Structures are given as structure tokens and as C-alpha cells.
Structure 1
Amino acid sequence: MPALVSRGRGRRSINEINMVPFIDVMLVLLIIFMVTAPLITTGVVELPSVGKSQQRPGSVIEIVIGTDERLRLRLIDGSQAAEPAAVTLAQLPARVRSTQAGNADMPVVISADRNVKYDSVVRVMDTLQKAGVKRVGLSVKQGS
């Protein structure tokens, strides 16, 4: 409540902020945070690292997106690779499922030219994920 001061002709209020209650509240909050800070347990997050896979998968389905944004699908089995076959985006989920032949854990890798729009790569990933393909990844080139 502002104090009233009488000077000469009338009474007017003094508009000042009383800092003592503010400082008291801040000190109480500081003490609470100092006491509770050591009690907070931090969670440990184990992030995967790139390039440290235990073993290479035996066979991989590769989807190649060319500079003309046409899709080609091929099966890489061990060291031999099949000839890439042209496929449309609408046919892609059915062709991947038939190539997997019941093995839902077979990884699918998307390889694209660096000049391909990112939108087309995301469209392929989205189509595969909506179709329920579990392991979809991107192929990266090591080095420059």
C-alpha cells in the first residue's frame, strides 16, 4: 500500500516498490532449487553410432532414384547385384514386399543422385513407411 505524504497543500501517494518481500521470495526459491538440484536424476541416452554395425545384412533391397526422378529397384544379395528394374511410385510398396518374400527384416536402402530434389526422396520414404516397410534407410557416400 502506498504511503501518504503530507506536503503543504494536499496529500499525495508515493509510488515505490517495496523490495523486501521480493528479495525474501527469491531467496526462498534459491534455497528450494539448491536443495532439489542434487535429487534430480539424469537419464542416460544411448545413441546409435554410424558405421559400427555388428554384421552386414546378407541381402539388401536398393531403390535408386535417378536424376530424372525415375525409380529403379534391385536386390543386392551378398556380393552380387541383380539388374535394376524400373518401377513407379505406386508400384513400389508391392514390389518391395514381393522382393522381401516374407522377410520383413530385410533392409531397404534408398540411393539418390545428389542433384535429385529432396522432396522425391522423402516421397519414396513416406510411401514405404505407409506401406509398413520396417527398415528403410538412406545410402550415403563416404568422403567428399
Structure 2
Amino acid sequence: MEAFVPRKRRKPVSEINVVPYIDVMLVLLIIFMVTAPLITQGVEVDLPQAQSEAISDDSRPPIVASVDREGNYFLNVGGNAEEPMSAVDLATLVAAELVVDPERPVVVRGDGAVAYNQVIQLMVLLQRAGATQVGLMTRPPE
């Protein structure tokens, strides 16, 4: 007959294994570090704090970049303002004008029926050409 060997009872472990949680937190940290710069993209626009005022007559005439309902770009400097131009030509002309006078105001005039995306693309184009502040041209209420 075999001798009865008493077994030792195992005590329940009351510790939490946190290693998997640390791995998950590191992965989330990397995801947030990668996506944070993508979220903050945008065009900086200085919004007025009061009712809008017209540009004063004594200031330099602004550079007016226009976009019509078909998405064609126009510029009031460097040639015929009635002739559509490519985005590259518009950016080149605006950059040249801003080199001569960096404080010259830049204004976007968009058709009421143009897609919002077209106006934003024009504003990004102007920002890349060197315009630090871009205004939006409106019509006074009737």
C-alpha cells in the first residue's frame, strides 16, 4: 500500500499581470503620436472680432485671388484679370508680389456656388505662396 502523501494546496495569486496592459498603452501612445500632427492641419484665418469693415482706401490695393463656380482661378495682378490661370501660375505670381511687398493684403473672392473645397484649396495655395494672412471677400447685405 502506498503511503498517503499530503498535497500542498496552492494559494490563489492576487497579483495582476500588468505586462499586457503596458503593451497596449505603448501601442496607443504610438498611434496618438502619429495621428496628432495629421489632425492639426488646416489654414489659419484671422476672423474679425466685430462687424466686418471694408479695407481702407489709403492702404495698398489687395491681391485678389478669385475662383468661379467651375473652379477656375483668376488673379488681379500680372496680366489679364479676366483670363483663367493654372494653380501653379497663380502661386508664382502671388509669391512674386509678396516678395516685393510682404505686407500687401491677400483676399479670396469665391463664387457663391463654388464648392467649399475649391475655396480651401485656393487658400492653401496662397498660404504656400507666402501669404501669412488671407481674407475672405464678401458683399455687404442689401
Greater RCO between the two (CA within 8 Å, min separation 6)? Answer: 2
Q: How large is the RMSD of aligned CA atoms in angstroms? A: 2.4
1:51 matched residue in structure 2: 52
Rounded to whole Å, the distance in 2 between the matches of 1:137 and 1:53 is: 11
Rounded to whole Å, the distance in 2 between the matches of 1:128 and 1:114 is: 20
Q: Secondary structure at the match of 1:87?
A: coil
Q: 1:106 aligns with which of 99, 104, 107?
A: 104
8 Å Cα contact 2:65-2:109 kept in structure 1: yes
Instruction: Indicate the structure (1 or 2) with the bigger Cα radius of gyration.
Output: 1
Q: Secondary structure at the match of 2:76?
A: strand
8 Å Cα contact 1:69-1:120 kept in structure 2: yes
8 Å Cα contact 2:106-2:134 kept in structure 1: yes
Number of matched residues?
Answer: 92
Q: Please list every run of 5 or more consecutive structure 1 residues that lacks an aligned counterpart in the other structure.
A: 1-46, 76-81
1:4 matched residue in structure 2: none
TM-score by structure 1 length? 0.54
1:116 matched residue in structure 2: 114
Q: Secondary structure at the match of 1:90?
A: helix
Q: Using the aligned pairs only, state the percent identity.
A: 21
User: What is the identity, as a one-letter code, of the residue corresponding to 2:128?
Assistant: K
1:94 matched residue in structure 2: 92
Q: Secondary structure at the match of 1:91?
A: helix
Q: CA deviation at 1:130?
A: 2.5
Bigger strand share:
1
After superposition, residues 11-90 of structure 1 pair within 5 angstroms as 48-52=49-53, 55-56=56-57, 57-75=59-77, 83-84=80-81, 85-90=83-88
Q: CA deviation at 1:142?
A: 1.2
